[in-house]
Amino acid sequence: MVDFRALGDDELVVAVAGGEREALGELYERHAPALFTRLDRRCGDRGVVEEAVQDTFVAVWRSAGKFRGDSQVAGWIWGIAIRRLIGVLRREPKARWVFDKRVDATIESAEEQLLVGVEHGHIAGAMERLSPELRLVLQATALDGLTMREAGELLGIPTGTVKTRLSKARRELREALT
């Protein structure tokens, strides 16, 4: 009897490829909460997010054999999850997230600002000054790892718009940093 909780993520993926459902369960326990939370920030419909997470682990089950050890398991699963979210949104475009509706008014404490500075250096402050549209595009491409086309699908805007917003965001960031 293997104790899957003692295994590393890489070993779990190998076990999943070998048909161990318990290993998939352990991966789910470890990664699903982060996926739920991160996807919830990109789509306001909890049902859609749950469907995407469900699809993600089904895909992990079926494609575990294709995972190459050269990247982090968490990053690999995230790559699947964000694309599954786009897939579900394609079926249910109404659930596409509109940024105006979001709660984005939390005031950050000084300590938090400090933490941001440590992780992101001086970029955080500059990011903050970007308009929400520009920030979203930057998030979808630079941070979430989507292509411009995928980002457009996620945000419900044409690829061309993604492109222009992205270059505008880059320009503003560069200006803020120099």
**Which CB sits closer to another protein, 92 or 112?**
112
**Which CB sits closer to another protein, 132 or 160?**
132
Applying CB under 8 A, which part among 71-79, 85-93, 155-163, 169-177 lies near another protein? 71-79
Pair 52, 102: CB distance under 8 Å: no
Structure tokens at 178: 């120099």
What is the rounded CA–CA span in Å between residue 63 and residue 17? Answer: 7
What is the rounded CA–CA span in Å between residue 77 and residue 151? Answer: 18
Q: What are phi and psi of 27, to 5 degrees?
A: -60, -40
Q: Is 116 in the site for another protein (CB under 8 A)?
A: yes
- Residues whose CB falls within 8 Å of the CB of residue 148, separated by 6 or more in sequence, listed in order: 141, 159, 162, 163, 166
- Shortest approach of another protein to residue 55 CB, angstroms? 8
What residues from 48 to 67 belong to the interface with another protein (CB under 8 A)? 50, 53-54, 57-58, 61
- Shortest approach of another protein to residue 160 CB, angstroms? 24
- Shortest approach of another protein to residue 23 CB, angstroms? 13
